[in-house]
Amino acid sequence: MADQGDPDAAVLAALQVHPAHGAVVFQALPGRRGAAGDFVVERFTGAAARLLGPALAPGTRISQLAGPDAEDLVPELARLVTEGGWSRLTLPSGEDPGSPACVDAVGVGDRVVGLICPEGLPPPVQERGFRALVEAAVDVVHVLDASGITRYISPGAAQVLGYTPEELVGRHFRLMLDPRDRAQVEQAFADVVAAPPGSVIEAEHRVRSKDGQVRWVHGRGSNHLGTPGVQAVVVNWRDVTVPVELRARLEYAATHDALTGLANRTLFIDHLELALATAARHPRHRVAVLFCDLDRFKLVNDSFGHVAGDALLRQVGSRLRGAVRPADTVARLGGDEFAVLLPELTGDEQAGHLAERVVSAVAGPYRLEDGRAELLVGTSVGVALSGHPPQDAEQLVREADTALYEAKHRGGGRVQLYSGALSESVSERFRLEAELRRALIGGQLRVLYQPKLRLADDEVFSAEALLRWEHPERGLLRPADFLALAEEAGLLLPIGAWVLRTAAEQVAAWARTGRGIGVQVNFSAEELIDPTMLELVRTTLVETGVDPGKLEIEITERVAVADLARTIETVGAIRELGLHVSLDDFGTGYCSLAWLQQIPVDIVKLDQSFTQRLGDDPTSTAIVEAVIRLSSALDLLTVAEGVETAEQLARLRELGCHSAQGYFIGAPMPAAELGARLPR
């Protein structure tokens, strides 16, 4: 045999089995687009040289060897390389050019091996050499008669099915099938039997091994019932379980939320489009989309961490699935936003009823997995219903989102049905939100300063920084006109940071001119629990050079008691930086007098509702006197808000109040105006 390097073990075994048979190995040459364009002789046996004549030589192209018939041979050899299996070919004989040699060819990797049958010997397909090639191939070769009975199956099937070839020969191919795919495979087999010779029918299906395990295989069947010496259906199949399962996992990941296992936005929209198409054909059916957003979820993340937040989202997803019908689709769209698709509704009231069930299911306490805390959250729900004819999917989603936005704006924990009027209202708020964003970067925000009077010497020693928005069309807006919108838009933190920086720079500027006045800055609940807040304060102190003792952070009772443990920790950290902390609006919320011992504040600010009834309401006077005495005993200063008259100011002085502010002392004013009133 011509030596062209060590052949593959399977090829070598085949070529040396029977010296009477000629054997030749053809190597594929790449053509266009990666397919084999031609084949050259790589090696051959002496018997092959005798049978095919002197034209057989290493490097000879099959097109040269076969002559005019090469046009049909090259595509067939290329098929054997790409698809596996075997084929019966003919080549010109060297002994008798008028009697072509019979060649059985089988694909092995990127080669084709041909076994040549000399006159008087059995066909090579029956020889052990050809069988060695088949059994060494990656694909399983499965030969069946027209009824589906196995005549031959290569040993590789045992690795997949657990059956030996002997256990399968003589048995119908149904033995190996998974019952779920039996009808599909039987139809594919019938198609192969009915197909013309050379046609290939493909099928991907499940099989069951001897021990009951399910595997996926991909098969290519061809009809050789009319091929001499074969007369069978030949199927080449291979185990594709790993790629099929990988593909399934990738498809699942592409359509499902990894955290909750719910549908994601892509799958939700697919189901919604299908439901709307069905509703278009059935005028009595309507489709509803519920958009859900959790109330107070950010507080959970900020207080307990994202691990607790993720655990809460998984529980919410489970409750949502339990609250709706089996045919409804529940999806997580991202963050704490969920959506529910309600197809085939027969009345508008069904959507409202199911939305209320969703609100009830989500509301209520949640226990963290470690049992260390019980969380209270709720949800707001926006509802949009399809019309006649139905809207497209994206429009219905936008309408549900608009309704949700309105539900959140009205305080949360409610169901809001979409209407055309809502769009106008929401559009106006979106416009105002965009204007507020521009105001933050465009210099439209202002800080006014309301003076605070020390009652012992009637000296203005401090001022409260009060935010205003100088709107180009609506004039000077108070925080009540836009802070709720700022919170919805996620602008509270950047606005708060701007106010803190502006106030600190003003205190530093006053100090440079000899005016030692301090400033109080109000902090919202979101600012107090924000993990970057302390670093923001620290950076502001360094960059402005302000005396920390001249800055005071004000928090309200409601903010303080929302998370008492966090408040105590944060207030302590702020005071360690040298700032003072005051408890604003004292007496209007839930704060117990005993908590003043726990919350390390410096100052208590009496709410103006008590100040304004001084002298007229004995109860209010008694409360003010009690708070002043208790604060003094705890070494806390007291500030009275809302002083409107000289009589109120005099009465506060008599009761021993430390300081006061209100319109009688001074209205909020620009920094320059206040500075002009201060002594140097």
What pLDDT does residue 524 have? 87
Task: Report residue 4's pLDDT band, with 50, 70 and 90 as the boundaries.
Answer: very low
Q: For residue range 199-226, what is the model confidence (pLDDT) as tens digits?
A: 889 999 999 999 999 999 999 998 888 8
Q: Whose CA is closest to 53, among 24, 88, 73, 12?
A: 24
| Residue range 505-510: mean pLDDT, rounded | 95
In eight-state DSSP terms, residue 372 is S
Are the CB atoms for 443 and 428 separated by under 8 Å?
A: no
Q: Which residue did the predictor score with more confidence, 98 or 159?
A: 159
Output the six-digit token pair for 42: 């790589």
State the Rg of the chain over Cα. 42
| Residue range 557-574: mean pLDDT, rounded | 82
Q: Whose CA is closest to 99, among 114, 74, 119, 115?
A: 119
Q: For residue range 663-680, what is the model confidence (pLDDT) as tens digits?
A: 999 999 999 999 888 876
The kind and range of the H/E element at 75 are: helix 70-83
Q: What angle do CA 383, 389, 392 make, to 5 degrees?
A: 60
Give the 3-state secondary structure of residue 273.
Answer: helix
Task: Report residue 7's pLDDT band, with 50, 70 and 90 as the boundaries.
Answer: very low
Output the six-digit token pair for 675: 């500075």
Residue type present at position 235: V
Output the six-digit token pair for 227: 């091929």
Q: Are strands 329-334 and 286-295 parallel, antiparallel or unpaired?
A: unpaired
In eight-state DSSP terms, residue 645 is S
Tracing tokens 């192969």 back to the chain, one arrives at: 192
Are the CB atoms for 221 and 189 separated by under 8 Å?
A: yes
How far, in Å, CA of 77 to CA of 60, rounded?
15
How far, in Å, CA of 676 to CA of 669, rounded?
11
Distance of CA 260 to the CA centre of its chain: 10
Task: Report residue 297's pLDDT band, with 50, 70 and 90 as the boundaries.
Answer: confident
Q: Are strands 111-117 and 101-108 parallel, antiparallel or unpaired?
A: antiparallel
How far, in Å, CA of 502 to CA of 514, rounded?
19
Are the CB atoms for 165 and 157 separated by under 8 Å?
A: yes
Task: Report residue 19's pLDDT band, with 50, 70 and 90 as the boundaries.
Answer: low
Give the 3-state secondary structure of residue 399.
Answer: helix
**Helices 564-576 and 533-544 meet at what angle, rounded to 10?**
20
Task: Report residue 587's pLDDT band, with 50, 70 and 90 as the boundaries.
Answer: low
Dihedral of CA atoms 533, 538, 544, 548 in degrees, nearest 10, equals 100
What pLDDT does residue 421 have? 62
Q: For residue range 612-658, what is the model confidence (pLDDT) as tens digits?
A: 888 778 888 888 898 899 888 889 999 999 999 999 999 999 999 99
Cβ burial, residue 256 (10 Å; 0-12/13-18/19+):
middle
Tracing tokens 């926006």 back to the chain, one arrives at: 382
| CA distance readout (Å), 63 to 51, 56, 75, 82, 225 | 18, 12, 11, 19, 29
Mean model confidence pLDDT for the chain: 84
What pLDDT does residue 317 have? 92
Listed in order, strand segments (DSSP E) in 302-428 are 329-334, 337-345, 364-367, 374-385, 415-417
How far, in Å, CA of 522 to CA of 525, rounded?
10
Evaluate if residue 127 carries a pLDDT over 50.
no
Q: Are strands 459-471 and 518-522 parallel, antiparallel or unpaired?
A: parallel
Give the 3-state secondary structure of residue 250.
Answer: helix
Are the CB atoms for 3 and 42 separated by under 8 Å?
A: no
Are the CB atoms for 217 and 238 separated by under 8 Å?
A: yes
Dihedral of CA atoms 176, 178, 183, 187 in degrees, nearest 10, equals -40
Task: Report residue 31's pLDDT band, with 50, 70 and 90 as the boundaries.
Answer: confident
How far, in Å, CA of 643 to CA of 666, rounded?
10
Dihedral of CA atoms 326, 329, 334, 338 in degrees, nearest 10, equals -70
Evaluate if residue 3 carries a pLDDT over 80.
no
What pLDDT does residue 84 have? 62
What pLDDT does residue 409 have? 76
Task: Report residue 534's pLDDT band, with 50, 70 and 90 as the boundaries.
Answer: very high
Beta sheet of 22-30, edge-to-edge order:
36-44, 22-30, 111-117, 101-108, 86-91
Are the CB atoms for 451 and 465 separated by under 8 Å?
A: no
Are the CB atoms for 611 and 641 separated by under 8 Å?
A: yes
Q: What percent of the chain has pLDDT over 90?
A: 36
Evaluate if residue 438 carries a pLDDT over 80.
yes
In eight-state DSSP terms, residue 196 is P
How far, in Å, CA of 641 to CA of 454, rounded?
13
How far, in Å, CA of 246 to CA of 253, rounded?
10
How far, in Å, CA of 225 to CA of 146, rounded?
7
Task: Report residue 470's pLDDT band, with 50, 70 and 90 as the boundaries.
Answer: very high
Give the 3-state secondary structure of residue 263.
Answer: strand
How far, in Å, CA of 656 to CA of 636, rounded?
12
Q: Whose CA is closest to 403, among 394, 393, 414?
A: 414
Distance of CA 128 to the CA centre of its chain: 57
Share in percent of the chain as helix, strand, coil (round to 5): 45, 25, 30
Q: Which residue did the predictor score with more confidence, 545 or 488?
A: 545
Q: Around Cβ 166, how many Cβ atoms within 10 Å?
A: 9
Q: For residue range 299-348, what is the model confidence (pLDDT) as tens digits?
A: 777 777 788 888 889 999 999 999 999 999 999 998 899 999 999 888 77
Q: Around Cβ 97, how many Cβ atoms within 10 Å?
A: 10
Q: Whose CA is closest to 497, among 467, 458, 453, 473?
A: 467
What pLDDT does residue 126 have? 44
120-134, 327-341, 457-471: the lowest-pLDDT one: 120-134
Of the spans 66-80, 210-224, 473-487, 555-569, which averages the highest pLDDT? 210-224
Q: Whose CA is closest to 674, among 520, 476, 446, 448?
A: 448
pTM, to two decimals: 0.49
Output the six-digit token pair for 219: 């098969």
